[in-house]
């Protein structure tokens, strides 16, 4: 019988819920969210898998003379799950149709840090209050975009529009790049 791949070892289990990021097929985010919630309810796992979230932002869409506000996915292809990591929760999430894996080294579930959770606005204390862990002039790392892993310096914060302008070094030139407030985290001093 072939070995079945299991994430990390038994010591990886945690008693407290943490946020994890799962990768989905493009356009399957809503279906994945519904499927996970249904399986969790059917199996009575609400204590272990506590929240499933697709981060969205309100965007005004103008089409000719018509204007409407829509929800746009901030991180297309990703769903956030707040869960207590166990072999069972790993298997439930991993076997959900549309899920391609957990985000982390070698697709092993790696919880988001408290700083990343705060920067993404997940578990925010109250809607309408914007708190960022960085200020103009701070060095930051970009997360959850095609520029993930790059770093730069904050040149401007626009809380009203929920954006931050970061000077990113492209080919030796500082290039202003506008990102959502939650797409950057302050580099440790």
Judge residue 161's burial from the number of C-beta atoms within 10 Å of its C-beta, 0-12 exposed, 13-18 middle, 19 or more buried.
Answer: exposed
pLDDT at 180 over 80: yes
Looking at the structure, tell me whether residues 44 and 107 fall in a common domain: yes
Looking at the structure, tell me whether residues 80 and 31 fall in a common domain: yes
Assign residue 95 a region (left: φ > 0; alpha: ψ between -120 and 50; beta: otherwise): alpha
124 within some domain: no
Condensed to tens digits (0 to 9), the pLDDT of residues 148-163 reads 888 999 999 887 777 8
Looking at the structure, tell me whether residues 162 and 101 fall in a common domain: no
Looking at the structure, tell me whether residues 108 and 31 fall in a common domain: yes
133 within some domain: no
Most confident listed range (27-36, 108-117, 141-150): 27-36
Query: Could you tell me which residues come within 8 angstroms of residue 143 by beta carbon, excluding any fewer than 6 positions away?
Result: 116, 119, 183, 184, 185
**Average pLDDT, whole number, for the chain?**
81
Radius of gyration of the chain (CA): 18
pLDDT at 181 over 80: yes
**For residue 92, what are the domain limits?**
11-112
pLDDT score recorded for residue 158: 84
Least confident of 53-57, 59-63, 86-90, 113-117: 59-63
The two structure tokens encoding residue 146: 């095609």
Predicted confidence band of residue 121 (pLDDT cuts 50, 70, 90): low
Taken as a whole, the chain contains a residue count of: 189
What whole-number distance in Å separates Cα of residue 141 and Cα of residue 58? 24
| 8 Å CB contact between 137 and 151 | no
pLDDT (mean) for 127-153 = 79
pLDDT at 132 over 80: no
| 8 Å CB contact between 168 and 152 | yes
Domain of 165, CATH number, reads 2.30.30.30
Q: What pTM value is reported for the model?
A: 0.57
Condensed to tens digits (0 to 9), the pLDDT of residues 3-37 reads 344 444 333 445 789 999 999 998 899 999 999 99
What whole-number distance in Å separates Cα of residue 59 and Cα of residue 63? 13
Per DSSP, which regions of 143-183 are E strands?
Answer: 151-158, 163-170, 173-180
């Amino acid at each position: 019988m072939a070995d079945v791949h299991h994430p990390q070892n038994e010591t990886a289990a945690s008693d407290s819920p943490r946020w994890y990021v799962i990768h989905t097929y493009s356009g399957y985010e809503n279906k994945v969210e519904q499927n996970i919630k249904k399986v969790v309810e059917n199996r009575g796992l609400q204590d272990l898998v506590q929240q499933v979230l697709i981060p969205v932002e309100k965007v005004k869409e103008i089409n000719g003379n018509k204007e409407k506000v829509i929800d746009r996915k901030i991180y297309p292809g990703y769903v956030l799950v707040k869960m207590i990591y166990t072999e069972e929760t790993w298997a439930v999430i991993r076997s959900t149709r549309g899920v391609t894996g957990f985000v982390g080294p070698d697709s092993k579930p790696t919880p988001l840090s408290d700083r990343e959770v705060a920067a993404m606005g997940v578990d925010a204390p109250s809607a309408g209050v914007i708190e960022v862990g960085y200020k103009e002039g701070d060095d930051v790392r970009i997360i959850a975009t095609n520029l993930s892993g790059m770093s730069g310096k904050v040149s401007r914060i626009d809380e009203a529009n929920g954006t931050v302008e970061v000077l990113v070094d492209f080919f030796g030139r500082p290039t202003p790049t506008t990102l959502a407030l939650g797409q950057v985290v302050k580099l440790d001093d």
